[in-house]
A and B are shown apart, each in its own frame.
Chain A
Amino acid sequence: MTALLTFPKGGVHPPAAKELTASLAIEVMPVPDELEIILGQHIGAPCTPTVAAKDEVKEGQVIGEVVKGLGVPLHAPVTGVVKGLGQSAHPMRVSVPSLLLATNHEAAPASYSRRDWRQFGKDELLKMVHRAGIIGIGGAGFPSHVKLNPPPDNPVDTLIINGAECEPYITADHRQMLEASAEIVEGAQIILKILGIENCWIGIENNKPDAIAAMGKAARESSGPGRITVAPLKVKYPQGSEKQLIHALTGRKVPAFALPSAVGVVVHNVGTTKAIHDAVALGKPLYEKVLTVSGRGIARPANLLVKVGTRVSDLVAYLGGVKPELAKVVMGGPMMGFAVSTLEVPVTKTTSSVLFLTEDEIDTTPHSPCIRCGWCLEACPMGLEPKEVAIHVEAGRAQDTAKFGVFECFECGCCAYVCPAKRPLVQFIRLAKMKAKK
C-alpha cells in the first residue's frame, strides 16, 4: 500500500476519542417498557399511522405508511399495544408527532430465517428494500430504494460502502464491521445486483486496522459476482462525507448540488448495507439500531443494539446514569450532531450516537471578532469562505452570501473547529442559508 487515499483539500484532525468504546462488543439493550416512535424518520413525507390506539401490534408489523410523496414505511420495533399518538421532542424540529407503544415483555421475539436472495430480480429486491423501511442510517435518512434506482441518464459503475466513520467518539460502524463483516459484504453484493454493476469499494479510515482486516477477509471469502475491495483511508475528518469519500476513492468530483450518480457512483453507509442485507436475506425490516453511547459524562460508555423509539433517558438508566461533570448531551457526532435539552428524546433510525460530554470535552469560550487568520479557508473541504459568510451575517447582509458558496456547505464544522476566535461559523452559515437566495 502506498500513500493512503484521502481528499486533497481541507479537513481537520479532532481527537478521535474512540478508545472509550472501540473495544466494546455491541450489547443488546433490554427493551424498555415504552417506545416513542417518531413518524418522520426519513427525508421526505412523514408516515401516517396505520394503527390506532389500543391496537395490538407484532414486532416487524407495519405501523405507518407514507401516503403521498417520498418515503418508506415504519415498523413496530416490539410486540405490544399502541398507546396513541404523541409529540416527541426533536433536536432539530423542536416537536414532532410520534407513536407511543407499550412493550409486551411476554411476547417471544420475532424470528427471521435466511433465504436465497439471488433468486430475486432487481425490481423484487428494490421493493424489499423499500418495504423494509430502509433509509440511509449513517445520518442523512434518505430512502435507500431511491438511491438504488438512479436515473437512467446517469449510468452508475461504482458502489462505495462508507466505513470511514470519521466523526470522533462513534464506533458503531467499527463494531458492526468487526461483528457483522460477512453480512455487510453480502449486503454489498445485494446492492451490486440491484444496481447491475460489479465494482465495489469499502472505504475505512486507517485507525481501524482490525475492521480493515475483517472486512478484507469477508470480501475475499464472499461468493458473488461483485468485485469488492477494501480501501484503507487516511484518518482525516470529514473523510466519510459523501463527496470527499468519492473523490478519495475514485478521483471523481461530484458537481455542486448534484447527486453521486452524476459521476456514476452510489454510496451507502455500512450500517445501511447491513440493514439492506437483513431486509433482503432475512426479510427483517429496519427497526433496530446500533449506536455508540459515549463521552466522559456517562457512567458506562457502550455500543448498543437498541429498538428504534428507545428514549435517551432509557439509555442513561441502562448505562448507570450520568456523571456530575456532564455539560452537554449530543445526538450524533461531536462535529455535526445536535445538542438536546431533554433526555426524553427517542432514538431514530438515523441516530448513530448519543454523547454525554463534560466541560473538558467541549469548548464554551465566548466568540470574538474574526481576526482573518484564514484558517477556516484552509480547513473547508469544499473550498468555501466561512469567515466572509459570518462577517456578512453579522453585518446584517446574509442575503448577499450566496456568492461565498453557502449552499455548497454541508455543515461539517471544520471551519468552526479550527477558528481561534471560537466563532460559531456553522451557525452563521445556517442563518445565511435561510436568508440568501439560491
Chain B
Amino acid sequence: MSVSPHVRSPESVARIMWTVVACLLPLLFVSVFIFGIQTLIVTAVSVVSCLLVEAASQKALGRKVTVADGSAVITGLLIAYVIPPGVPYLLPVLGAVMAIYIGKHLLGGLGYNIFNPALLARAFLLATFPVAMTSSWLPPLHGMSIFSRLGRPIDAISTATPLAVLKTQGMAAVSQQFGGAPTIYSTFFLGWRPGSIGETSGLLIVLAGLYLMYRKYITWHIPVSVLAAIALLTWIFGGPDYFGGDPLLAILSGGALLGAFFMANDYVTCPTGKTAQLIYGTGIGALTVLIRLKGGYPEGICYAILLMNPLSSVLDDWFKPRRFAPPLGGAK
C-alpha cells in the first residue's frame, strides 16, 4: 500500500482486544477463589467454543480467519462472566454459537454486528434454559477448597443472588443474608457474594476500567452515564419512599459495573460521538433500573444494553461532531 499517511500509530485492533482480555482475566482468577474451579472450567469452555465457532464461521462464510485478533476471546470471557457459574457446560457452547455465528458473523462479522454478541448469547440462554440460568448460582466458598464442589449436584449447593433476594423478599432479607451497611458495600465491592463471574469484584472491574481509560481505549462517557443514571434513578425510585433507594448498592449489585465498563461501551455496538454516548449510557442506566424495579427479572442491564444497541447509529446520526467552521453563508 502506498497511500499517505506512510507512518501509522502502533495501536491495532489486536492490541486493543488483547489488552481488554488482560483486563478481564483478574476477575476470573478471583472468581476461582470465590466460587471454586467451576468458574475456570465454564470460562475455558466458553472461550474455546468461541474460538472454534469463530474459525468455523469465517471458513464457512469464506472470510479471512482472524481468531488471533482476540475479539472472540473477549466474547468467550464475557459470555462466561454473565451466566451463573454452576450451569451445565453445554450452555456456554450454545452461547458461543449464538454470539459468534449468529450474532456476529451472520450480521457481517466484526464491525458490522448490531448487538453485543455476549449479551445476545445471555439473552438467548435465559430464554432457552430459564431454570439453569436463574438457579445455578453458587455461594462463596468462604475458605473451602476450590475443588470441593466438583461433581456435586448443583441444586444441592445453589443459592439466590442478592438482586433476586431483593426482588422477591425485599431489602430487609438482603441485609439479613449479606449484611447491613456498611459491611455489605465492602462485601459486594470485593466480590464475596453469589453471582456470575462478572458480578464478583467491583474493585477489579473499576481498576481495569481506569486502566483502559489511561490507555485511552475507552473514555468515561458511557461508564459514568450508565452508573450515574442507575444510581440516581435507584435513589429516587428504588426505596419504600421517593429518594429512599440505595444508589451505592445499586451500582455494586448485579452486572452494573461489568456492563458499564466492558459491555455498554463495546466499540462496535455503541455510538461513537461523545454526546451520543452520554445519551446512550443514560438510556442504558434508565432501562436497567426500570427492569430491576418494575420488570420480571432481578437484573436488567443485559436487556438495557441490547435495547439501546440498535439506537447507536441513530444517535450518531442525530449528534454529529462539530465541524471546524461552517462555510460562508451557512448551510452545507
- List residues of chain A with CB under 8 Å of any chain B CB: 9, 12, 14-15, 168, 243, 247, 253-258, 262, 328, 330, 334-339, 341, 355, 357, 361-366, 368-375, 377, 380-385, 387, 402-403, 405, 408, 411, 413, 416-422, 424, 426-427, 430
**Quick one: which of B6, B16, B324 has the most chain A CB within 10 A?**
B6
Interface residue from B1, B3, B11, B325 paired with A418 (Cβ < 8 Å): B11
Residue-wise, chain B 107-125 has the 8 Å CB interface mask toward A (1 for contact) of 0011110000000000000
Sample 20 A-B pairs with CB under 8 A, ordered by A number: A9-B324, A247-B324, A256-B328, A330-B4, A335-B5, A339-B2, A339-B4, A363-B7, A364-B1, A369-B110, A374-B273, A382-B324, A383-B323, A416-B5, A417-B7, A420-B12, A424-B1, A424-B3, A426-B3, A426-B4
Distance from A197 Cβ to chain B, minimum over Cβ atoms (Å): 22
Residues of A within 8 Å of B1, CB to CB, are 364, 366, 424
Are A420 and B5 touching (Cβ within 8 A)? no
A399–B156 Cα gap in the complex (Å)?
64
Interface residue from B7, B16, B272, B323 paired with A14 (Cβ < 8 Å): B7
Q: Which 3 A-B pairs have the closest CB atoms?
A: A374-B272, A413-B5, A363-B8
Distance from B131 Cβ to chain A, minimum over Cβ atoms (Å): 36
A12–B8 Cα gap in the complex (Å)?
11
Q: Which residue of B lies closest to A252 (CB)?
A: B325
Are B324 and A383 touching (Cβ within 8 A)? yes
Are A420 and B112 touching (Cβ within 8 A)? no
Q: Which residue of B lies closest to A380 (CB)?
A: B321
Q: Which residue of B lies closest to A366 (CB)?
A: B1
A420–B327 Cα gap in the complex (Å)?
31
Residues of A within 8 Å of B323, CB to CB, are 256, 382-384, 405, 408
Contacts A372-B268, A385-B321, A424-B1 known; 14 new A-B pairs at CB < 8 A:
A243-B325, A330-B4, A336-B5, A339-B2, A339-B6, A369-B110, A371-B110, A372-B267, A374-B273, A381-B324, A383-B323, A384-B323, A413-B4, A421-B12
A382–B12 Cα gap in the complex (Å)?
24
Any A CB within 8 A of the CB of B59: no
Are A258 and B327 touching (Cβ within 8 A)? yes
Interface residue from B7, B15, B112 paired with A369 (Cβ < 8 Å): B112
Residues of A within 8 Å of B267, CB to CB, are 371-374
Residues of B within 8 Å of A341, CB to CB, are 2
Interface residue from B5, B13, B268 paired with A426 (Cβ < 8 Å): B5
Q: Which residue of A lies closest to B327 (CB)?
A: A256
Residues of B within 8 Å of A258, CB to CB, are 327-328
Distance from B263 Cβ to chain A, minimum over Cβ atoms (Å): 15
A146–B326 Cα gap in the complex (Å)?
25
Q: Interface of chain A, helix or strand or loop or mixed?
A: loop
Q: Interface of chain B, helix or strand or loop or mixed?
A: loop
A369–B104 Cα gap in the complex (Å)?
13
A168–B268 Cα gap in the complex (Å)?
32
A411–B4 Cα gap in the complex (Å)?
9
Are A385 and B7 touching (Cβ within 8 A)? no
Residue-wise, chain B 264-277 has the 8 Å CB interface mask toward A (1 for contact) of 00011010110000
A383–B8 Cα gap in the complex (Å)?
20
Q: Which residue of B lies closest to A327 (CB)?
A: B6
A256–B267 Cα gap in the complex (Å)?
30
A422–B218 Cα gap in the complex (Å)?
19
Residues of A within 8 Å of B321, CB to CB, are 377, 380, 383-385
Any A CB within 8 A of the CB of B322: yes
Any A CB within 8 A of the CB of B176: no
Are A337 and B272 touching (Cβ within 8 A)? no
Distance from A244 Cβ to chain B, minimum over Cβ atoms (Å): 8
Residues of B within 8 Å of A380, CB to CB, are 321
Are B272 and A372 touching (Cβ within 8 A)? yes
Q: Which residue of B lies closest to A336 (CB)?
A: B4
Distance from B10 Cβ to chain A, minimum over Cβ atoms (Å): 8
Residues of B within 8 Å of A15, CB to CB, are 7
Interface residue from A168, A374, A408 paired with B7 (Cβ < 8 Å): A168
Are B8 and A416 touching (Cβ within 8 A)? yes
